[in-house]
Structure 1
Amino acid sequence: VIDILDVVIIVGIVLSDDNQCELRLDLNLDWEFADNLSYFDYEELDNVISQISNLSYIEGIIVVHNGEIVSESYYNGSSINQTFNIWSVTKSFTSTLVGQAIDQGYIDNQNTTLNNLLPMSTQPYLENVSLHNLLSMSSGYADGFGYPYWVNATTTQLEWMSYTFPGLFFYNNSACQLNSHVLYYATQMTPSEFANMNLFPYLGIENPQWLDGYLNINDASASLELRLRDMIKLGQLYLQDGWSGEEQILSSEWIEQATSIKVETYFPEIPGYGYLWWLPPGEGFMAIGYGGQYIAGYPERGLVIGAHSSINNNQIYMSQLLEYIHNQIA
């Protein structure tokens, strides 16, 4: 049975270190297609992709190599201009915004504790929890609110969720929402306002829909709506050390921090977690969203893969996907 996983296998044929090059694409511009596809077996890739259209849950796939699209396909009523909820891929955008806030001096560094970042708090536990803990899912907080209720929770309600101790990985949407509150108090802007000044224009993204709640603070964990072409640009930005054209909008130091292992997860297929980025075995980094939304970046190979799906149970799907990426590409 041909699957999206086969695309990842065939993409391995595309790649070699000899083809990798350093780029500073202007990501405000639209993608360009590769003119020369002779360096890999495009017919085999095209054959696999054509068979994927039979799968009811795959809606879009893009493969970008050395800054150019080598394959782009949409299925099941989806289209190039369709926007969709990227779900937890949003977290990696949130990480990027926090990195920019640190780069620009709004926040001292990721080791700052939350009692110094969230004003007027009376919660003593915040003295033990750093921004590093929030970004690496190791805050020690329980996941106190379901979707989308964490977005409407007040800062105080989030601060006073149940807790144990920081340091161990626990995937937690509610605690992740505190990242948006930190951004809000540090910059005096909502995450959307900050992104519309510092990130989205450099990626060619124009005022996207992004769920907000308390104090108009946006959802740090999910709910950003983008086109697939726009979503994948975040991966390319990281491959380009934070450069978009002639402007470096995110420091290479932050990218190195965000995509290096900060804590071990309880998922054998994805053993590492950085700052709101998943880190599979070997090379690369991934942003993964519910239903099969993902960005996979491989800097040493100049490769970014993006997918939009609508599968209900994506745990098995994503586990298989990561296994294929590890065995066939990384």
Structure 2
Amino acid sequence: MRHSSLIILSLLLIIGCSDKRDPQALPTATKPNPENWPTTAWKYDTLKSSAHFRPLIDSFPGKYSLLIVNNGQIAFEHYQEPYAKDSLIHVNSCTKTVISLLFGAVFKEQLDLNENRAAIDYFPEYAINDSLIRKIKVRHFLSMSSGLNWKGGIDATDVIRMSNTSDWAKYVFERAVAEPPGENFHYNSGGTQVISTILHKQTNEGLMAFAQEQIFNPLGISAFKWDRTPKGIPKAGWGLHLKMQDMARLGYLLLKKGKWNDAQILSDEWVAKMSAKHIAANSEYDYGYQVWIPKTIGTEGFLFRGSYPPSTKIVAVLPELNSVVVYVGENYHTIDLLRDFIVPVLKKGW
């Protein structure tokens, strides 16, 4: 009997000791996998990844700076003057995507109501009763399909004329309707300014203060500049200046479907709507709500995109690869950069 008791006691001791396993020996599935939220600073994971991305510096010509975020950490960065790491860069039309992001934040609880409302309804002071203008919904300005006769881009006649007025939104509504809204893509920075003006009117302290309190501060964006119109409204088409790592933060917010740490800053519904195709733009891109959707980069994605000589800027959000790419530089062939260099490396991993 005593012999049996000793055997049982020995077995219990063995079992007890064997349960005190090294945590590192636990199966991978049981290890915590926290999100990397770069609220104060980005984490780096460049030891192995840099070797994979370094060859593209010699292969992709021109002066540029490049930042690649993968799995919430900086996987590669390369900076060339005048696009330095801490430079406030004029992001040009990338500002438009930030306006769409802010639309989702301002109208968080009533997105459908406000995107489907006639845009002119927000401006009773203009006393414009044109029945064709009333057919333009806010969503048509968001998707660059307002149907207004507008000269922008290379022929920037309307952009220049609008910039020389005191009321930019009013100038837009005074343009003629050339075709039914929602049928065709026509790039119109003035339409984005209408959206910015709507948001500015809807926020108690103005859009700039709202953006800082509700978006920039939570994301850890403390240094920025945003040019304003004569009425003090943020210039929506091209007015924002940001650091490259802060451009990546905005991309990462959309990559994470509007979530930051424990807060749902934007609804995932709005992020999905922003990044969905609303109209065909050209052979290379479809267009969402102030975002470009490339057709030929070899993975799902959407872009903030802005250009003004001598440089072009993109923030590419690549959900399938859990990555964000920020490029600022003098080579405008950013589709080639993504398709031929960056996406293949991200797909292979390291």
* TM bucket, shorter chain: 0.7 to 0.9
CA distance in 2, matches of 1:85, 1:279: 22
Cα distance, 1:232 vs structure 2: 1.3
Matched, 1:98 2:103: yes
In structure 2, relative to structure 1, the CA distance for the partners of 1:147 and 1:82 (3 Å cut) is farther
What SS class does the counterpart of residue 71 from structure 1 fall into?
A: strand
Cα distance, 1:105 vs structure 2: 4.8
Which residue among 68, 72, 82 is the counterpart of 1:63? 68
Q: Partner of 1:118 in structure 2?
A: 123
Cα distance, 1:86 vs structure 2: 0.4
Contact 1:24 1:244 in 2 (8 A): no
Look up the equivalent residue of 1:141 and give its one-letter code: L
Q: Which moved more, 1:199-208 or 1:149-158?
A: 149-158
Cα distance, 1:148 vs structure 2: 8.4
Look up the equivalent residue of 2:280 and give its one-letter code: E
In structure 2, relative to structure 1, the CA distance for the partners of 1:147 and 1:206 (3 Å cut) is farther
Cα distance, 1:30 vs structure 2: 1.2
In structure 2, relative to structure 1, the CA distance for the partners of 1:64 and 1:182 (3 Å cut) is same
Q: Partner of 1:30 in structure 2?
A: 41
Matched, 1:287 2:304: yes
Cα distance, 1:127 vs structure 2: 1.8
CA distance in 2, matches of 1:323, 1:106: 34
CA distance in 1, matches of 2:61, 2:107: 43
CA distance in 2, matches of 1:63, 1:325: 12
Q: Partner of 1:306 in structure 2?
A: 326
Q: Partner of 1:161 in structure 2?
A: 175
CA distance in 1, matches of 2:67, 2:39: 18
What SS class does the counterpart of residue 55 from structure 2 fall into?
A: helix
In structure 2, relative to structure 1, the CA distance for the partners of 1:118 and 1:22 (3 Å cut) is farther
Cα distance, 1:43 vs structure 2: 2.3
Matched, 1:278 2:292: yes
Q: Which residues of 2 match residues 1-330 of structure 1 at below 5 A? A: 24-34=35-45, 37=48, 42-49=50-57, 51=58, 55-58=61-64, 60-105=65-110, 108-123=113-128, 124=130, 125-143=132-150, 145-147=158-160, 149-150=162-163, 152-154=165-167, 155-164=169-178, 165-167=180-182, 168-206=184-222, 208-265=224-281, 267-270=282-285, 272-281=286-295, 282-290=299-307, 291-311=311-331, 314=332, 317-321=333-337, 324=340, 328=344
In structure 2, relative to structure 1, the CA distance for the partners of 1:198 and 1:148 (3 Å cut) is farther
Q: TM-score, normalised by structure 1?
A: 0.81
What SS class does the counterpart of residue 217 from structure 2 fall into?
A: helix
Look up the equivalent residue of 1:214 and give its one-letter code: P
Q: Deviations over 1:77-100 (max 9, x none)?
A: 442111110011111101000111
Work out the percentage of aligned pairs sharing the same amino acid: 24
In structure 2, relative to structure 1, the CA distance for the partners of 1:45 and 1:26 (3 Å cut) is closer
What SS class does the counterpart of residue 124 from structure 2 fall into?
A: coil
- Report the aligned-residue RMSD: 2.7
In structure 2, relative to structure 1, the CA distance for the partners of 1:221 and 1:257 (3 Å cut) is same
Larger radius of gyration: 2
Q: Deviations over 1:46-97 (max 9, x none)?
A: 2333x36x95431x10011000001011013442111110011111101000
CA distance in 2, matches of 1:325, 1:45: 8
Cα distance, 1:185 vs structure 2: 1.9
Q: Deviations over 1:114-140 (max 9, x none)?
A: 132223232223320111101000011
CA distance in 1, matches of 2:33, 2:141: 32
Structure 2 residues without counterparts, runs of 5 or longer: 1-31, 152-157
Contact 1:23 1:67 in 2 (8 A): no
Contact 2:93 2:238 in 1 (8 A): yes
Q: TM-score, normalised by structure 2?
A: 0.77
CA distance in 2, matches of 1:159, 1:57: 40
In structure 2, relative to structure 1, the CA distance for the partners of 1:292 and 1:184 (3 Å cut) is same
Cα distance, 1:297 vs structure 2: 1.0
What SS class does the counterpart of residue 308 from structure 1 fall into?
A: strand
Question: Which structure is higher in RCO with an 8 Å CA cutoff and minimum separation 6?
Answer: 1
